[in-house]
Structure 1
């Protein structure tokens, strides 16, 4: 008797790297997203076990490619740095991002932001920060008793995980490193580099002129029959 075996194949689930949405709706939102993400990179540049990402899709549950979100910036402690198409949590020792940031634009809706709060609440985020650059308004949540609870006094708040401090100044938010330095934009850092290069070039030019002057003086003294080595 011949038994005919039926072969069944399980379709591979695809986890897209893009949700088709733009990272930012305007230049102000884009500047804040890149500033926060870049400065967080700099903050943890020497720690290989801190992964920082911007606008990266996070899939918390294997087998479910519909449940996903792309925080404007997120920080994951305990996961190595490196390139990723998406953050698939089951492939990351099941470690959820501990800190997430969202930068608002006029297109964000209350329903959308409430949905994100619930997502972060249900999937283990410890700190959640929302900044509205148009209104210069910062809202923060920190996990207490397994619930993301709103931070009442956000001005001057220091992140338990990151050690950074938030200051609601005018005309916009200031964020400070643990050492007191302020988060800066790429353009500000570029300007610092240019100013430092200009300073170094001037110092080099001054040193070269000083050496040229000393060489001329030594040559003149030799013409007069004076040897500097004899003087010394």
Structure 2
């Protein structure tokens, strides 16, 4: 019996979950990727239909496993939270990431960034932000009708239409939630948690001291033949 070879159809295409590239080239780039990705996770934590991911391969076209990119951070409105090995757009109601962030490192080249901009333009990104932490430079592009190639003139004070996050550029990039709360690093959050824990411990100590003083007063009144509960 001779077995005829079968053609590989789209359902059998393998989509790698890694492009073999590091998430970041240095600590500064990694810190900014984590700060932006995690703060966006917290911002939309109560919305089950906002998916946020960092360094996740995005495949926009079914059947083409060579066409992909891994944004440093991407946000997709209209898709549920949950773990994914890659973002395969045809499995996600064909929704592309609407917002994408890239953090530059010394290893990034201009041709590479030009290709990324063209990719995001071609496959439907609505807002694209690039931050260079070494030069303290921030750039952004917003989709106008069917074009993502129009650069935002001034990023300082810019508010993202999709995220409602405000951008400021001073000694470094500053990002603010819609309520005005700044984005925090893990170190800053840990410091705030420690301070809050110390305040709670101090409040508990003060409460315990008040209990002891109240008990001592009640004992003195009883020694004088006075019932403190009757007062």
TM over 0.5: yes
The answer for the alignment partner of 1:115 in structure 2 is 115
**After the TM superposition, which of the residue ranges 143-152 and 28-37 deviates more from structure 2?**
143-152
Instruction: Give SS of 1:16's match.
Output: coil
The answer for the alignment partner of 1:159 in structure 2 is 160
| Cα distance change on mapping 1:67 and 1:7 into 2, 3 Å | closer
Query: Does 2:106 align with 1:141?
Result: no
The answer for the alignment partner of 2:106 in structure 1 is 106
Instruction: Give SS of 2:143's match.
Output: strand
Instruction: Give SS of 1:52's match.
Output: strand
Q: Distance in 2 between matches of 1:160 and 1:88?
A: 25
Q: Distance in 1 between matches of 2:3 and 2:31?
A: 59
Q: Distance in 1 between matches of 2:184 and 2:207?
A: 32
How far did 1:145 drift?
A: 2.6
The answer for the alignment partner of 1:70 in structure 2 is 70
User: RMSD between aligned alpha carbons?
Assistant: 1.4
Structure 1 moving runs of 4+ over 6 Å: none
The answer for the alignment partner of 1:13 in structure 2 is 13
Q: How many residues align?
A: 228
Runs (5+) with no aligned partner, structure 1:
none
Q: Distance in 2 between matches of 1:222 and 1:178?
A: 58
| Cα distance change on mapping 1:167 and 1:216 into 2, 3 Å | same
Q: Distance in 2 between matches of 1:7 and 1:70?
A: 34
Mapping 1:1-232, distance limit 5 Å: 6=4, 8-10=6-8, 12-148=12-148, 149-170=150-171, 172-230=172-230, 232=231
Q: Distance in 1 between matches of 2:138 and 2:221?
A: 70
How far did 1:6 drift?
A: 3.8
| Cα distance change on mapping 1:195 and 1:123 into 2, 3 Å | same
How far did 1:7 drift?
A: 5.6
How far did 1:208 drift?
A: 0.4
Instruction: Give SS of 1:182's match.
Output: coil
How far did 1:229 drift?
A: 2.6
How far did 1:8 drift?
A: 2.1
Runs (5+) with no aligned partner, structure 2:
none
